[in-house]
Amino acid sequence: MGWRIVLKIRRLFGKSAALCAALLLAFPIVAADSETVNNLFEAALQSIYPPPATPPEVAEAICLQCKGTGQVRSRFQNKATPAPQKQTSRYQTRLDKSKDFMVPCNECKGQKRYLRKLTLKERLERFHACRRQYDLEHAKLCHLPFGQAYVALGQLDALDPETFARLAAQFPGLCETCHGFAALPCERCDSFGRIEKTNQDQDDVLPDVRIEVCTTCDGKGEKPCKRCDGSGLLKRCRRCKGTGIARKAATKKRPETLERCRSCEGMCRR
């Protein structure tokens, strides 16, 4: 098809015109405009291996109230139980404990597992499992980390600093302490928000157990991450103010040039 056009041009306009047409056919000229920059960005985006999706907040999981046994003490039916009054007679305590039999757990309706909001600890565990798999996969292929993602070796080397920074902003590095969750699990209650208290001061077989709201985290099961101030991300690079770009001032010989910030390597955060 192309050659027929060239032959037609030769017949109409002569040899030199035909040569130009042939060259144009072989090497189409690409204009460098905003569309090209966008295409450049899109093409670079295609070369990124995005991180796995964050684990869901709600999922089927083991019941925390009965620890997956499906049964609880009759007294635990209603989450937090008030502290027993101190001046109960021994007889009264015995009577209370005699009522302490096992019943189906009201939280999971005796199902052991049910659909519920996961605790931060559980979400972190799921996150790390996904992430380990993802890291391993890309380490095997010798891919380089790019923020929270990966990229094949040398893929972005030729990219101009501005497009590189725009791309880096799409995959900001995660805070190394909270891994993007902006909070840490409460250690006292294991992220459950409630704790079991046992008083075994009596000679009874069944210890006196009650469930209380964790006072360390106020029942939330988590505490805010101080390292990232709740952003869940690495801090913005101070040297380039989070732009990822270093400007080299113009001299008499050459105009101003842009470079990737050396401190954050153009990633905007570090």
**Binder of Zn ion out of 143, 151, 264, 269 (CB under 5 A):** 264
**Binder of Zn ion out of 118, 168, 174, 228 (CB under 5 A):** 228
Q: Answer yes or no whether residue 93 interacts with Zn ion by CB under 5 A.
A: no
Q: Answer yes or no whether residue 167 interacts with Zn ion by CB under 5 A.
A: no
**Binder of Zn ion out of 79, 188, 194, 210 (CB under 5 A):** 188
**Binder of Zn ion out of 214, 234, 260, 269 (CB under 5 A):** 214
| Of residues 40, 61, 50, the one with CA closest to residue 114 | 61
Query: Which residues lie below 8 Å from residue 67, measured CB to CB, with a gap of 6+?
Result: none
Q: Answer yes or no whether residue 79 interacts with Zn ion by CB under 5 A.
A: no
- For residues 225 and 232, the answer to whether their CB atoms sit within 8 Å is yes
Segment near Zn ion (CB under 5 A), from 7-15, 34-42, 181-189, 201-209?
Answer: 181-189
Query: Which residues lie below 8 Å from residue 114, measured CB to CB, with a gap of 6+?
Result: 60, 61, 63, 107, 108
The separation between the first and the last C-alpha atoms of the chain, rounded to the nearest angstrom, is: 54
Count residues binding Zn ion (CB under 5 A): 24
Query: Which residues lie below 8 Å from residue 9, measured CB to CB, with a gap of 6+?
Result: 17, 18, 21
Q: Answer yes or no whether residue 189 interacts with Zn ion by CB under 5 A.
A: yes
- Cβ closest to Zn ion, residue 10 vs residue 236: 236
Helices (H), the chain: 2-13, 15-26, 34-46, 90-98, 120-140, 161-170
What radius of gyration do the chain's Cα atoms show?
A: 32
- Cβ closest to Zn ion, residue 55 vs residue 219: 219
Question: Which pair of structure tokens corresponds to residue 132?
Answer: 């380990």
Q: How far apart are CA 214 and CA 218, in angstroms?
A: 6
Segment near Zn ion (CB under 5 A), from 18-26, 36-44, 73-81, 188-196?
Answer: 188-196
**Binder of Zn ion out of 48, 65, 172, 174 (CB under 5 A):** 65
- Residues 113-152: x where in contact with Zn ion by CB under 5 A, - otherwise, as a string: ----------------------------------------
**Binder of Zn ion out of 44, 66, 156, 165 (CB under 5 A):** 66
**Rounded to the nearest whole angstrom, what is the least distance from the CB of residue 252 to Zn ion in the complex?**
28
**Rounded to the nearest whole angstrom, what is the least distance from the CB of residue 128 to Zn ion in the complex?**
15
Question: Which pair of structure tokens corresponds to residue 234?
Answer: 């690495």
**Binder of Zn ion out of 107, 125, 160, 212 (CB under 5 A):** 107
Q: Answer yes or no whether residue 236 interacts with Zn ion by CB under 5 A.
A: no
The site for Zn ion (CB under 5 A) is made up of 63, 65-66, 105, 107-108, 175, 177-178, 186, 188-189, 214, 216-217, 225, 227-228, 237, 239-240, 261, 263-264
